Amino acid sequence: MNTKNSLLSSAMLLILLALLSCSSANLIKKEEKDAVAIKVMTFNIRYGSAEDGINNWDNRKEVAFDVIRNYYPDLLGMQEVLKFQLDETLDQFPYYDYVGVGRDDGKTGGEYSPLLYLRERFIVDTCGTFWFSDTPEIPGSKSWGNEITRISSWARLFDKFTGNVIEIYNLHLDHKSKDSRIKSARLLLKKIKPNIPTIITGDFNSSEDEETIKLISDSGFKDTYRFIYANSSHEGTYHRFVGDDTGDKIDFIFVSNHFKILDAEIIKTYRLTGDKKQYPSDHFPVVAEVAIDDRVK
C-alpha cells in the first residue's frame, strides 16, 4: 500500500473513532441527565362538584387523566381537588402516593392542594399542611381578607434515584384578596429552609407583575417557564374552558437556585367531542423538567 494512502486511512480512522467517541459521550450525558431530571407538574383540576354542564368532572376527567398519563410527572402539585377526585386519580395511577389534607378541617373536608409523588422514586421524610392566616397551624383558619380558606401542603422528600433531599410546597392562593396573596407569599417564604433545594408549585391567582410573584422571585426562586421562554405570548393559564391563552400566566413552578432548569411547557391539551373542544380543566397545566445543579450543592 502507498505510504501516503496508508497515512490518510489511519487519519480517517482516528477521526471516525473520535466522532464515535463524542457520540457515545453525548449519549451518556443525555442518559445521565434523563436519570437525574425531575419532571414537575402543577395542575388546577377544577373542583368536581362545580355545576359546569358539559365541562363537569365526569365529562372531562378522562382528558385530565390523559394529561397526567402522557406527561408522567415525578411530582404533581394539584389544586381544587376534592376527596373523591383525589381517590379517582389515585385509582387511575396506583404508582403515585400523596401528602395533603382538606382545607376545611385538616382531614378530608373541602378542597385539597395535594402533592402526588412517584413512590418508586421518592420517600417522604416529613410533610405537613399550613393555613394562610395568622394561625397557620389551625385547620380552617383565615385572617387576611380571603373569604375562602387557603392552604399549602408540603413535603421533604428523599430522592432514591440521586440520593438528594428536596422540599416541595404546593399551594392555591386567594382569587380576590391581593393583600391575602401578598401575606401568603411572605408566610410561605418564612416556612422555606434556604439550605434545602426547594420547588414551589401552585395556582397563585397572580400575574407576573404583581407583588406576590415579585416576592417569590426576589427571594431567589426562578420561574421555570420564564427561564426557558424569556419573551413569549399566548401564555395565559386560566382560560375558563374555552382555551383562550391570551390572559395572564397565574400557574407557576418555581425552583430555588439549587436547580438547573432543563425544560418547561404550558400544556394546552384538549379532546375533540363532536365539533367541541373538551379541555381537562379551566386551567392549563404547567410542566417543567429540572435537576439538582451539583455546582450549587
Query: 27-51: per-residue pLDDT in tens?
Result: 434 444 444 899 999 999 999 999 9
- Please report the pLDDT score of residue 296 as a whole number: 76
Query: What does the pLDDT read at residue 294?
Result: 83
Q: Do 216 and 137 fall into the same domain?
A: yes
Q: Are residues 254 and 112 in the same domain?
A: yes
Residue 200 included in any domain: yes
Does 297 reside within a domain? Answer: no
Supply the CATH number for residue 197's domain. Answer: 3.60.10.10
Distance between CA atoms of 238 and 246, rounded to whole angstroms?
9
Q: What are the tens digits of pLDDT across the range 242-264?
A: 999 999 999 999 999 999 999 99
Q: Are residues 278 and 232 in the same domain?
A: yes
In a domain, 90, yes or no: yes
**Structural domain of 140:** 38-292
The reply to whether 7 and 100 lie within a common domain is no
Pair (12, 73) in one structural domain? no
DSSP structure class, residue 134: S
CA triple 68-99-159, angle to 5 deg: 75
Together in a domain, 5 and 50: no
- Digit-coded pLDDT (tens) for 119-143: 999 999 999 999 999 999 999 999 9
**Claim: this prediction has a pTM higher than 0.85:** yes
Looking at the structure, do residues 187 and 239 belong to the same domain, yes or no?
Answer: yes
End-to-end CA distance of the chain: 57
Residue 145 · residue 131 · CB < 8 Å:
no
Helices (H), 72-143: 83-92
Instruction: Verify that 20 and 50 share a domain, yes or no.
Output: no
Q: Are 285 and 41 in contact (CB under 8 A)?
A: yes
Tens digit of pLDDT for each residue in 141-180?
Answer: 999 999 999 999 999 999 999 999 999 999 999 999 999 9
Q: Taking the alpha carbons of 226, 229, 230, 234 in that order, is the dihedral positive or negative?
A: negative
pLDDT number for residue 273: 86
When divided into structural domains, the chain yields a total of 2
Q: Does residue 23 form part of some domain?
A: yes
Q: For residues 8 and 70, state if they share a domain.
A: no
Query: Same domain for 50 and 27?
Result: no
198 found inside a domain: yes
Same domain membership, residue 5 and residue 86: no
Q: Judge if 258 and 130 occupy the same domain.
A: yes
